[in-house]
Amino acid sequence: MAKKAIVRAAAAQLKPVLNNAVATTEKICDMIRASAAEGADIIVFPETCVPSYPYFSFILPPVMQGAEHLKLYDQSVIVPGPITDIVSAAAKECGMVVVLGVNERDYGTLYNTQLIFDVDGQIVLKRRKITPTYHERMIWGQGDGSGLKAVDTAVGRIGALACWEHYNPLARYALMADHEEIHCSQFPGSLVGQVFADQMEVTMRHHALESGCFVINATGWLDDEQINSITADPKLQQAMRGGCNTMIISPEGRHLCDPLIEGEGIIYADMDMRLIDKRKRMMDSAGHYSRPELLSLNVDLTAHQHLYNNEKSSDRNIKAESL
Protein backbone atom coordinates (compact mmCIF):
# COMPACT_ATOMS: atom_id res chain seq x y z
CA MET A 1 0.00 0.00 0.00
CA ALA A 2 0.95 3.65 -0.39
CA LYS A 3 3.59 4.77 2.09
CA LYS A 4 2.40 8.40 2.33
CA ALA A 5 -1.14 9.71 2.84
CA ILE A 6 -0.49 12.67 0.54
CA VAL A 7 1.81 12.31 -2.46
CA ARG A 8 2.66 15.45 -4.41
CA ALA A 9 2.78 14.65 -8.13
CA ALA A 10 4.40 16.50 -11.00
CA ALA A 11 3.83 15.94 -14.71
CA ALA A 12 6.29 17.49 -17.15
CA GLN A 13 5.35 18.67 -20.63
CA LEU A 14 8.84 18.69 -22.07
CA LYS A 15 10.23 20.29 -25.22
CA PRO A 16 13.15 18.00 -26.09
CA VAL A 17 16.38 19.08 -27.70
CA LEU A 18 16.01 17.19 -30.96
CA ASN A 19 18.81 14.72 -31.73
CA ASN A 20 20.70 15.54 -28.53
CA ALA A 21 20.32 13.07 -25.67
CA VAL A 22 22.71 14.86 -23.30
CA ALA A 23 21.07 18.27 -23.72
CA THR A 24 17.59 16.81 -23.28
CA THR A 25 18.73 14.94 -20.17
CA GLU A 26 20.12 18.16 -18.72
CA LYS A 27 16.68 19.75 -19.18
CA ILE A 28 15.09 16.74 -17.50
CA CYS A 29 17.38 17.06 -14.49
CA ASP A 30 16.61 20.78 -14.26
CA MET A 31 12.90 19.89 -14.18
CA ILE A 32 13.49 17.25 -11.50
CA ARG A 33 15.22 19.83 -9.31
CA ALA A 34 12.57 22.48 -10.00
CA SER A 35 9.76 20.10 -9.07
CA ALA A 36 11.63 19.02 -5.94
CA ALA A 37 11.74 22.68 -4.91
CA GLU A 38 7.92 22.66 -5.25
CA GLY A 39 7.71 19.69 -2.89
CA ALA A 40 7.03 17.02 -5.53
CA ASP A 41 7.51 13.38 -4.57
CA ILE A 42 7.17 11.97 -8.11
CA ILE A 43 7.59 13.38 -11.62
CA VAL A 44 6.58 11.80 -14.93
CA PHE A 45 8.15 12.72 -18.28
CA PRO A 46 6.80 12.07 -21.82
CA GLU A 47 7.16 9.04 -24.06
CA THR A 48 10.71 8.44 -25.40
CA CYS A 49 11.66 12.01 -24.58
CA VAL A 50 15.36 11.09 -24.58
CA PRO A 51 16.56 12.13 -27.05
CA SER A 52 13.02 12.69 -28.41
CA TYR A 53 10.09 10.86 -29.91
CA PRO A 54 10.88 9.87 -33.54
CA TYR A 55 8.52 12.40 -35.11
CA PHE A 56 10.21 11.84 -38.47
CA SER A 57 8.61 8.39 -38.65
CA PHE A 58 5.19 10.05 -38.78
CA ILE A 59 6.27 12.28 -41.65
CA LEU A 60 8.72 10.41 -43.88
CA PRO A 61 8.03 7.33 -46.03
CA PRO A 62 10.09 4.30 -44.98
CA VAL A 63 12.53 4.61 -47.90
CA MET A 64 13.46 8.13 -46.72
CA GLN A 65 13.89 7.38 -43.01
CA GLY A 66 17.37 5.88 -42.99
CA ALA A 67 19.43 8.96 -42.12
CA GLU A 68 17.08 10.10 -39.33
CA HIS A 69 16.77 6.58 -37.95
CA LEU A 70 20.56 6.27 -37.74
CA LYS A 71 20.74 9.63 -35.92
CA LEU A 72 18.32 8.19 -33.39
CA TYR A 73 20.54 5.12 -32.97
CA ASP A 74 23.50 7.40 -32.21
CA GLN A 75 21.57 9.31 -29.54
CA SER A 76 19.63 6.44 -27.96
CA VAL A 77 20.10 5.28 -24.40
CA ILE A 78 21.88 2.18 -23.14
CA VAL A 79 20.25 0.93 -19.92
CA PRO A 80 22.05 1.14 -17.59
CA GLY A 81 24.54 3.63 -18.97
CA PRO A 82 25.78 7.24 -18.81
CA ILE A 83 22.37 8.84 -19.41
CA THR A 84 20.56 6.74 -16.81
CA ASP A 85 23.40 7.43 -14.36
CA ILE A 86 22.76 11.18 -14.72
CA VAL A 87 19.03 10.80 -14.09
CA SER A 88 19.64 8.36 -11.26
CA ALA A 89 21.90 10.89 -9.53
CA ALA A 90 19.27 13.63 -9.87
CA ALA A 91 16.52 11.37 -8.50
CA LYS A 92 18.70 10.45 -5.52
CA GLU A 93 19.79 14.06 -4.94
CA CYS A 94 16.16 15.21 -4.84
CA GLY A 95 14.72 12.13 -3.13
CA MET A 96 12.14 11.78 -5.90
CA VAL A 97 10.58 9.01 -7.94
CA VAL A 98 11.24 9.70 -11.63
CA VAL A 99 9.37 8.05 -14.51
CA LEU A 100 11.18 8.57 -17.80
CA GLY A 101 10.59 7.53 -21.39
CA VAL A 102 13.67 6.78 -23.52
CA ASN A 103 14.67 5.36 -26.85
CA GLU A 104 16.64 2.38 -25.58
CA ARG A 105 19.39 0.83 -27.69
CA ASP A 106 20.09 -2.84 -27.18
CA TYR A 107 22.81 -3.64 -29.72
CA GLY A 108 21.13 -3.48 -33.15
CA THR A 109 17.57 -2.73 -32.04
CA LEU A 110 15.83 0.27 -30.53
CA TYR A 111 12.95 0.00 -28.05
CA ASN A 112 10.35 2.36 -26.66
CA THR A 113 11.27 2.00 -23.00
CA GLN A 114 9.83 3.28 -19.74
CA LEU A 115 12.09 3.58 -16.71
CA ILE A 116 11.10 4.09 -13.08
CA PHE A 117 13.78 5.42 -10.71
CA ASP A 118 13.06 5.20 -6.98
CA VAL A 119 14.14 7.86 -4.48
CA ASP A 120 17.51 6.15 -3.98
CA GLY A 121 18.23 6.43 -7.72
CA GLN A 122 17.79 2.73 -8.40
CA ILE A 123 15.94 1.64 -11.54
CA VAL A 124 13.07 -0.47 -10.18
CA LEU A 125 11.34 -1.03 -13.53
CA LYS A 126 12.48 -1.18 -17.13
CA ARG A 127 9.69 -2.05 -19.54
CA ARG A 128 9.44 -1.94 -23.30
CA LYS A 129 6.33 -1.02 -25.27
CA ILE A 130 4.88 -4.37 -26.25
CA THR A 131 3.63 -3.30 -29.69
CA PRO A 132 4.83 -0.11 -31.40
CA THR A 133 1.94 1.67 -33.07
CA TYR A 134 1.50 2.00 -36.84
CA HIS A 135 4.51 3.99 -38.20
CA GLU A 136 6.50 3.24 -35.01
CA ARG A 137 6.97 -0.38 -36.10
CA MET A 138 9.63 0.81 -38.54
CA ILE A 139 11.59 2.30 -35.62
CA TRP A 140 11.30 0.08 -32.54
CA GLY A 141 11.31 -3.60 -31.74
CA GLN A 142 8.56 -5.29 -29.73
CA GLY A 143 8.88 -5.60 -25.96
CA ASP A 144 7.97 -8.64 -23.89
CA GLY A 145 5.62 -8.98 -20.95
CA SER A 146 8.25 -8.73 -18.22
CA GLY A 147 7.31 -5.11 -17.56
CA LEU A 148 3.56 -5.65 -17.36
CA LYS A 149 3.60 -5.32 -13.59
CA ALA A 150 3.38 -2.77 -10.82
CA VAL A 151 6.42 -2.05 -8.67
CA ASP A 152 6.73 -0.81 -5.10
CA THR A 153 8.37 2.59 -4.64
CA ALA A 154 8.69 5.15 -1.87
CA VAL A 155 5.42 6.80 -2.98
CA GLY A 156 3.37 3.67 -3.60
CA ARG A 157 2.82 0.93 -6.14
CA ILE A 158 3.40 2.16 -9.70
CA GLY A 159 2.46 0.79 -13.11
CA ALA A 160 3.24 2.31 -16.51
CA LEU A 161 2.10 2.11 -20.13
CA ALA A 162 2.99 4.13 -23.20
CA CYS A 163 0.54 5.87 -25.51
CA TRP A 164 -1.81 3.53 -27.38
CA GLU A 165 -0.94 0.60 -25.15
CA HIS A 166 -3.86 2.05 -23.22
CA TYR A 167 -6.13 0.72 -25.96
CA ASN A 168 -5.03 -2.81 -25.14
CA PRO A 169 -7.48 -3.59 -22.30
CA LEU A 170 -5.62 -6.75 -21.29
CA ALA A 171 -2.37 -4.82 -20.81
CA ARG A 172 -4.20 -2.37 -18.61
CA TYR A 173 -5.86 -5.14 -16.67
CA ALA A 174 -2.50 -6.77 -15.98
CA LEU A 175 -1.56 -3.63 -14.05
CA MET A 176 -4.95 -3.37 -12.35
CA ALA A 177 -4.69 -6.96 -11.15
CA ASP A 178 -1.21 -6.20 -9.83
CA HIS A 179 -2.79 -3.46 -7.70
CA GLU A 180 -1.18 -0.33 -9.10
CA GLU A 181 -1.90 2.78 -7.03
CA ILE A 182 -0.30 5.31 -9.36
CA HIS A 183 -0.48 4.80 -13.10
CA CYS A 184 2.17 6.67 -15.10
CA SER A 185 1.23 7.31 -18.70
CA GLN A 186 3.36 8.79 -21.46
CA PHE A 187 2.44 10.17 -24.90
CA PRO A 188 4.56 11.96 -27.52
CA GLY A 189 2.38 15.06 -27.94
CA SER A 190 2.63 17.37 -30.97
CA LEU A 191 0.84 14.88 -33.20
CA VAL A 192 -2.58 14.57 -34.86
CA GLY A 193 -4.08 17.69 -33.27
CA GLN A 194 -6.96 18.19 -30.87
CA VAL A 195 -8.46 14.76 -31.54
CA PHE A 196 -5.36 13.19 -29.95
CA ALA A 197 -5.74 15.36 -26.85
CA ASP A 198 -9.44 14.53 -26.66
CA GLN A 199 -8.71 10.81 -26.84
CA MET A 200 -6.20 11.12 -23.99
CA GLU A 201 -8.79 12.93 -21.88
CA VAL A 202 -11.25 10.05 -22.20
CA THR A 203 -8.66 7.30 -21.88
CA MET A 204 -6.84 8.59 -18.81
CA ARG A 205 -10.00 9.39 -16.87
CA HIS A 206 -11.49 6.02 -17.74
CA HIS A 207 -8.39 4.14 -16.59
CA ALA A 208 -8.38 6.02 -13.29
CA LEU A 209 -12.00 5.05 -12.70
CA GLU A 210 -11.62 1.45 -13.80
CA SER A 211 -8.36 0.81 -11.96
CA GLY A 212 -9.23 2.88 -8.90
CA CYS A 213 -5.83 4.53 -9.06
CA PHE A 214 -4.27 7.92 -9.71
CA VAL A 215 -3.08 8.67 -13.25
CA ILE A 216 -0.18 10.98 -14.07
CA ASN A 217 0.02 11.61 -17.82
CA ALA A 218 2.88 13.46 -19.53
CA THR A 219 3.12 14.53 -23.15
CA GLY A 220 5.87 16.13 -25.20
CA TRP A 221 5.65 19.45 -27.00
CA LEU A 222 7.41 20.95 -30.03
CA ASP A 223 7.60 24.64 -30.92
CA ASP A 224 7.14 25.96 -34.47
CA GLU A 225 10.86 26.09 -35.17
CA GLN A 226 11.25 22.41 -34.28
CA ILE A 227 8.22 21.41 -36.35
CA ASN A 228 9.57 23.36 -39.34
CA SER A 229 12.92 21.56 -38.98
CA ILE A 230 11.16 18.20 -39.32
CA THR A 231 9.03 19.04 -42.37
CA ALA A 232 8.54 21.96 -44.75
CA ASP A 233 5.11 20.73 -45.85
CA PRO A 234 2.43 23.06 -44.38
CA LYS A 235 -0.13 20.26 -44.22
CA LEU A 236 2.24 17.98 -42.34
CA GLN A 237 3.30 20.85 -40.09
CA GLN A 238 -0.33 21.29 -39.12
CA ALA A 239 -0.56 17.58 -38.34
CA MET A 240 2.26 18.05 -35.82
CA ARG A 241 0.52 20.74 -33.79
CA GLY A 242 -1.68 20.03 -30.81
CA GLY A 243 -2.13 16.57 -29.35
CA CYS A 244 -0.83 17.62 -25.92
CA ASN A 245 -2.71 16.89 -22.71
CA THR A 246 -0.55 16.64 -19.62
CA MET A 247 -2.80 15.88 -16.64
CA ILE A 248 -3.15 14.38 -13.16
CA ILE A 249 -6.36 12.43 -12.47
CA SER A 250 -7.86 11.06 -9.23
CA PRO A 251 -9.35 7.55 -8.76
CA GLU A 252 -12.73 9.28 -9.04
CA GLY A 253 -11.90 10.37 -12.59
CA ARG A 254 -11.44 14.03 -11.74
CA HIS A 255 -8.70 16.44 -12.76
CA LEU A 256 -6.66 17.41 -9.73
CA CYS A 257 -5.30 20.51 -11.49
CA ASP A 258 -5.72 22.27 -14.80
CA PRO A 259 -4.23 20.18 -17.64
CA LEU A 260 -1.42 21.59 -19.77
CA ILE A 261 -2.27 21.51 -23.48
CA GLU A 262 0.15 24.07 -24.90
CA GLY A 263 3.80 24.92 -24.26
CA GLU A 264 6.47 23.54 -22.01
CA GLY A 265 5.95 23.36 -18.28
CA ILE A 266 5.21 21.33 -15.16
CA ILE A 267 1.86 20.85 -13.44
CA TYR A 268 1.43 19.79 -9.81
CA ALA A 269 -1.24 18.17 -7.68
CA ASP A 270 -1.52 16.62 -4.24
CA MET A 271 -2.80 13.05 -4.42
CA ASP A 272 -4.73 11.93 -1.33
CA MET A 273 -3.97 8.21 -1.40
CA ARG A 274 -7.01 7.50 0.79
CA LEU A 275 -9.17 8.09 -2.30
CA ILE A 276 -8.02 4.70 -3.60
CA ASP A 277 -9.86 2.87 -0.82
CA LYS A 278 -12.85 5.18 -1.24
CA ARG A 279 -13.12 4.16 -4.89
CA LYS A 280 -12.31 0.47 -4.46
CA ARG A 281 -14.75 0.06 -1.60
CA MET A 282 -17.47 0.43 -4.21
CA MET A 283 -15.75 -1.07 -7.27
CA ASP A 284 -12.55 -3.09 -7.16
CA SER A 285 -12.05 -4.45 -10.68
CA ALA A 286 -9.34 -6.85 -9.50
CA GLY A 287 -11.13 -7.84 -6.29
CA HIS A 288 -14.75 -8.03 -5.17
CA TYR A 289 -16.04 -6.73 -8.53
CA SER A 290 -14.20 -9.40 -10.52
CA ARG A 291 -15.25 -12.94 -11.35
CA PRO A 292 -11.99 -14.83 -11.90
CA GLU A 293 -13.77 -18.16 -12.19
CA LEU A 294 -15.54 -16.72 -15.25
CA LEU A 295 -13.02 -14.22 -16.61
CA SER A 296 -9.26 -14.33 -16.10
CA LEU A 297 -6.07 -13.14 -17.79
CA ASN A 298 -2.98 -15.20 -18.58
CA VAL A 299 0.18 -13.04 -18.70
CA ASP A 300 3.65 -14.22 -19.70
CA LEU A 301 5.95 -12.15 -17.48
CA THR A 302 9.08 -13.83 -18.84
CA ALA A 303 11.98 -11.63 -19.95
CA HIS A 304 12.64 -13.56 -23.15
CA GLN A 305 16.19 -14.11 -24.36
CA HIS A 306 17.73 -15.17 -27.64
CA LEU A 307 20.12 -17.66 -26.05
CA TYR A 308 19.26 -20.16 -23.34
CA ASN A 309 21.60 -22.60 -21.64
CA ASN A 310 19.64 -25.85 -21.75
CA GLU A 311 22.60 -28.00 -20.77
CA LYS A 312 21.51 -30.47 -18.09
CA SER A 313 23.26 -30.38 -14.73
CA SER A 314 24.16 -34.08 -15.10
CA ASP A 315 25.89 -33.30 -18.42
CA ARG A 316 27.86 -30.50 -16.75
CA ASN A 317 28.96 -32.88 -13.98
CA ILE A 318 30.16 -35.46 -16.51
CA LYS A 319 32.18 -32.79 -18.35
CA ALA A 320 33.65 -31.52 -15.07
CA GLU A 321 34.71 -35.02 -14.01
CA SER A 322 36.43 -35.60 -17.34
CA LEU A 323 38.63 -32.54 -17.01
Q: How far is CA 192 from the centre of its chain?
A: 20
Is 1 within a domain?
no
Please give the pLDDT value at position 4.
86
- 129 contacts 154 by C-beta, under 8 angstroms: no
Cα gap 19→183, rounded to integer Å: 29
Active-site residue, from 27, 126, 129, 280: 129
**What pLDDT score was predicted for residue 97?**
98
Instruction: Report d(CA 182, CA 92) in Å as an integer.
Output: 20
Phi-psi region of 102 (alpha: psi -120 to 50; beta: other; left: phi over 0): beta
- Tell me if 312 is assigned to some domain: yes
Count CA within 13 A, CB hemisphere, residue 107: 1
Can you tell me the distance from the alpha carbon of 69 to that of 159, in angstroms, rounded to the nearest whole number? 29
Domain assignment present for residue 151? The answer is yes
CA–CA separation, 323 and 18 (whole Å): 56
Exposure of 308 by Cβ count < 10 A (0-12 exposed, 13-18 middle, 19+ buried)? exposed
Q: Would residue 223 count as lying in a domain?
A: yes
Tell me whether residue 280 is one of the annotated catalytic residues: no
Active site residue 129: yes
Domain CATH number, residue 129? 3.60.110.10
CA distances to 39, 113, 159, 246, 247 from 186, in Å: 22, 11, 12, 9, 11
Under a CB-based contact definition with an 8 Å cutoff, are residues 11 and 218 in contact? yes
pLDDT for the residue numbered 2: 55
In the chain, the number of structural domains is 1
> Which residue among 15, 29, 47, 184 is the active-site one?
47
* 21 inside domain: yes
Are 43 and 96 a contacting pair, CB within 8 Å?
A: yes
CB 216 within 8 A of CB 190: no
What is the pLDDT tens value at each position of the chain, 323 positions in all?
Answer: 557 899 999 999 999 999 999 999 999 999 999 999 999 999 999 999 999 999 999 999 999 999 999 999 999 999 999 999 999 999 999 999 999 999 999 999 999 999 999 999 999 999 999 999 999 999 999 999 999 999 999 999 999 999 999 999 999 999 999 999 999 999 999 998 899 999 999 999 999 999 999 999 999 999 999 999 999 999 999 999 999 999 999 999 999 999 999 999 999 999 999 999 999 999 999 999 999 999 999 999 999 888 887 765 455 444 444 44
Confirm whether 244 is a catalytic residue.
no
Which backbone phi and psi does 236 adopt, to 5 degrees?
A: -70, -35
Domain ranges, residue 157: 6-322
User: Which candidate in 163, 184, 213, 244 is catalytic?
Assistant: 163
Flag whether 253 is in a domain.
yes
What's the pLDDT at 264?
98
